């Protein structure tokens, strides 16, 4: 039994466990005790196996059984720690994926005695915290179709949004904020856009900030992942331009840049989403609508460790001596970056202009 649980709950639950499970439990199984001095009715003590890539389904089954047990106990809520990320050294993304997938599958069973699933992550475990947020935001839309309408999304409440964002309702995921022309924020984006036009003349109509909570959470989690695996002080993020059609803007604002649309504007360096250091390059991929309006994003992009790629690339090759692929491709000499993972791109500013 975890020493932290023993300290909080008291000796009574250890006595219960020794009485009922004197010979211990097998890996993948769990034991049940009272809550002792804890403010809960029961504690389920799970014995997880050592993590291996081929026993993912076994671990997932164990977590699913914990949720089923909570239902049979008529519990209204259950709280999980970041399972396995301590002594067993489960990767945080694997731990969060297992928990979220178990929740999703449980929701599909349409059992509603269990109303709240809390995931407790200590503040020092920032990597795990970010992974839980990312997995939660990715799966929440799927889960909520099977849960009561009044489910609370506490993950969003714990996230600290950028200080320059406008305040948002807890129930809203997306806000599009038009910037004031005399603000420093507007002028910074405008200057970056115009300096790389290489003499081409455009008239900016407006610049909008995209505040998308779920996309931002995924982006932050992916950034932490790159910073963990790449050399210290490596520049993992860049501010790059992406040209698009006016008709694509609403979907990008809502769901982000989508690799499934690659090929629409060429795939010279692989089947991913294309970005450029120069806005002049992205002008070529911003066709005007019937009213002459054009759109371009100034995006936050996690380029990480780069490798030159070719037309047939669907995923960058692995870095030498690792099982991790390079983070981006393209042609760095031409200032072209290709991204093959959707969470590495955040559409921060939308620039609307006329040529």
> In this structure, what is the dihedral angle of CA atoms 106, 111, 112, 116, given to the nearest 10 degrees?
-20
Pick the CATH number of 48-153 from 3.30.70.1290, 3.40.109.10, 3.40.220.10, 3.30.930.10: 3.40.220.10
The whole-number pLDDT of residue 336 equals 95
CA distance 308 to 270: 10
The whole-number pLDDT of residue 55 equals 66
In the chain, what's the furthest Cα-to-Cα distance? 81
Are the CB atoms for 248 and 286 separated by under 8 Å?
no
Token pair, residue 18, equals: 């020794």
The whole-number pLDDT of residue 277 equals 96
Are the CB atoms for 338 and 344 separated by under 8 Å?
no
User: In the chain, at which residue ranges do the beta strands (DSSP E only) sit?
Assistant: 30-34, 42-46, 77-80, 116-119, 174-178, 203-212, 237-244, 273-276, 293-302, 329-331, 336-339, 345-354
Return the closest-CA partner of residue 328 out of 250, 237, 224: 237
DSSP H helical segments within 43-173, as ranges? 56-72, 92-107, 126-144, 154-158
147, burial (CB in 10 Å: exposed 0-12, middle 13-18, buried 19+): middle
In tens digits, the chain (355 residues) has pLDDT values of 667 777 777 888 888 888 888 888 888 888 998 888 888 888 998 888 887 766 677 778 888 888 888 888 888 888 888 777 778 877 777 777 788 788 878 877 655 677 788 777 654 555 555 555 555 555 555 544 444 444 344 445 545 688 889 988 888 999 999 999 999 999 999 999 999 998 888 999 999 999 999 999 999 999 999 998 999 889 999 999 999 999 999 999 999 998 766 555 557 888 899 999 999 999 999 999 999 999 999 999 999 999 999 988 888 999 999 889 999 999 989 999 999 999 999 999 999 999 8
Give the bridge partners for 293, in sequence order. 354
Helix %, strand %, coil % of the chain (to 5):
35, 20, 40
The whole-number pLDDT of residue 22 equals 81
Q: What is the CATH number of domain 174-354?
A: 3.90.228.10
DSSP H helical segments within 184-248, as ranges? 184-195, 213-229
177, burial (CB in 10 Å: exposed 0-12, middle 13-18, buried 19+): middle
Residues of the chain with CATH 3.90.228.10: 174-354
Other beta carbons within 10 angstroms of residue 169's beta carbon come to: 7
How many Cα neighbours within 13 Å face the side chain of 326?
A: 18
CA distance 44 to 242: 50
Residues of the chain with CATH 3.40.220.10: 48-153
The whole-number pLDDT of residue 74 equals 84
């Amino acid at each position: 039994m975890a020493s932290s649980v023993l300290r909080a709950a008291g000796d009574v639950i250890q006595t219960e466990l020794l009485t009922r499970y004197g010979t211990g439990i097998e890996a993948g199984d769990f034991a049940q005790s009272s809550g002792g001095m804890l403010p809960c009715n029961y504690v389920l003590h799970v014995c997880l196996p050592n993590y291996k890539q081929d026993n993912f389904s076994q671990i997932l089954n164990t977590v699913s059984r914990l949720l089923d047990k909570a239902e049979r106990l008529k519990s209204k809520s259950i709280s999980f720690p970041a399972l396995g990320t301590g002594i067993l050294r489960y990767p945080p993304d694997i731990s969060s994926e297992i928990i979220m997938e178990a929740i999703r599958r449980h929701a599909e069973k349409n059992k509603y005695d269990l109303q709240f699933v809390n995931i407790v992550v200590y503040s020092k475990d920032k990597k795990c915290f970010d992974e839980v947020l990312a997995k939660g935001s990715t799966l929440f839309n799927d889960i909520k179709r099977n849960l009561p309408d009044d489910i609370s999304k506490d993950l969003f409440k714990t996230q600290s949004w950028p200080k320059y964002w406008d305040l948002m309702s807890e129930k809203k995921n997306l806000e599009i904020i038009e910037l004031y022309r005399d603000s420093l924020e507007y002028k910074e984006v405008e200057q970056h856009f115009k300096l790389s036009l290489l003499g081409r003349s455009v008239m900016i109509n407006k610049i909008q900030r995209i505040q998308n909570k779920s996309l931002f959470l995924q982006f932050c989690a992916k950034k932490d992942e790159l910073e963990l695996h790449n050399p210290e002080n490596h520049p993992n993020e860049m501010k790059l331009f992406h040209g698009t059609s006016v008709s694509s803007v609403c979907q990008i604002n809502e769901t982000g840049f989508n690799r499934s649309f690659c090929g629409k504007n060429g795939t010279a360096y692989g089947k991913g989403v294309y970005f450029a250091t120069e806005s002049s390059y992205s002008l070529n991929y911003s066709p005007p609508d019937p009213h002459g309006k054009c759109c371009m994003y100034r995006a936050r992009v996690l380029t990480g460790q780069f490798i030159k790629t070719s037309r047939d690339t669907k995923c960058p090759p692995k870095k030498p001596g690792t099982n991790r692929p390079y983070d981006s491709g393209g042609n760095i000499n031409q200032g072209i970056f290709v991204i093959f993972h959707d969470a590495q791109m955040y559409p921060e500013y939308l620039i609307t202009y006329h040529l």
